[in-house]
Amino acid sequence: MIVGAQKPLDEIKKLVADAKKVLVVGCGTCVTVSFAGGTKEVGILASSLRMASKIDGNPKQIDEATVQRQCEWEYIDPLAARLEEYDLILSLGCGIGVQALAERFPKKTIIPGLNTTFLGMPTEHGVFEERCQACGDCILGITGGICPIARCSKQLLNGPCGGSQRGKCEVSSDTPCAWQLIYDRMATRGELDRLLEIQPVKNWSTSRDGGPRRIIREDLRALEDKD
């Protein structure tokens, strides 16, 4: 899932300063799970902005809406009828959601209310940890299902660095050493010999080389054509 964190209220106030009518739009998937942009967070932020604008002597109309997913046309198209009355749309979706709204409604001013942080998972209630950097060349099959790209502070691919001590990363004693985790996982499965295999140099070109990435599923396109 994509994890985000809401921008500071003061920053958001500056972004909406010149607007009189603002629609705060939330997203019902990833950022809802990370408690950053769901219906509840939309309500709290909208209320905070209303109060702040009154206190500042410049009251604004701040309304609310939440769609299931901001990253797909079919979910954001129903907003079209409402957007005309607003001079600014404050998105509480991830960076993809913000761009989707801006692309679908090019005449409207769309601004982000969140900082998109990483691809991660909830490890306990209210705690989200990075697990993937979407590098485009997954090596989880040879590292015991633990990603050294996302979880090693130095993104090392050939084992732990000299700073790793007692299973902890030198960056922080609260951060497990990714390669210690990999070693322990492989040892549990009796697969330590796999770590001795020489691997080819990682293909970093699938990460960000060559511009924005795109995946085309020809099988799905073929099915759509049949329909």
Reference 150, options 109, 185, 121; nearest CA is: 121
**What is the share, in percent, of the chain residues with pLDDT greater than 90?**
68
Whole-number pLDDT of residue 122: 87
Do the bridges between strand 114-124 and strand 127-132 make them parallel or antiparallel, or are there none, so unpaired?
antiparallel
Reference 107, options 79, 78, 87; nearest CA is: 87
Please state the domain extents for the chain.
2-118, 137-206
- Cα 98 to Cα 148: distance, rounded to the nearest angstrom: 30
Helix/strand/coil for 73: helix
Return the higher-pLDDT residue of 137 and 69.
69
Mean confidence (pLDDT) of the chain: 90
Tell which CATH classification among 3.30.70.2740, 3.40.190.10, 3.40.50.300, 3.40.50.2300 matches the domain 2-118: 3.40.50.2300
User: In this model, does residue 213 exceed pLDDT 60?
Assistant: no
- Cα 131 to Cα 149: distance, rounded to the nearest angstrom: 9
Cβ-contact 88, 16 below 8 angstroms: yes
pLDDT in tens, 3-20: 999 999 999 999 999 999
User: In this model, does residue 35 exceed pLDDT 60?
Assistant: yes
Q: Which residues pair with 130 in a beta bridge?
A: 120
Whole-number pLDDT of residue 105: 95
Compute the average pLDDT of residues 108-131. 90
Compute the average pLDDT of residues 50-69. 96
Q: Whats the size of the chain, residue-wise?
A: 227
- Cα 138 to Cα 202: distance, rounded to the nearest angstrom: 10
pLDDT in tens, 161-207: 999 999 999 998 889 999 999 999 999 989 999 899 888 888 887 77
Helix/strand/coil for 30: helix
Who contacts 203 (Cβ-Cβ below 8 Å, separation ≥6)? 137
- Cα 10 to Cα 15: distance, rounded to the nearest angstrom: 9
pLDDT in tens, 68-108: 999 999 999 999 999 999 999 999 999 999 999 999 999 99
Cβ-contact 32, 92 below 8 angstroms: no
Q: Tokens 């967070």, residue? A: 41
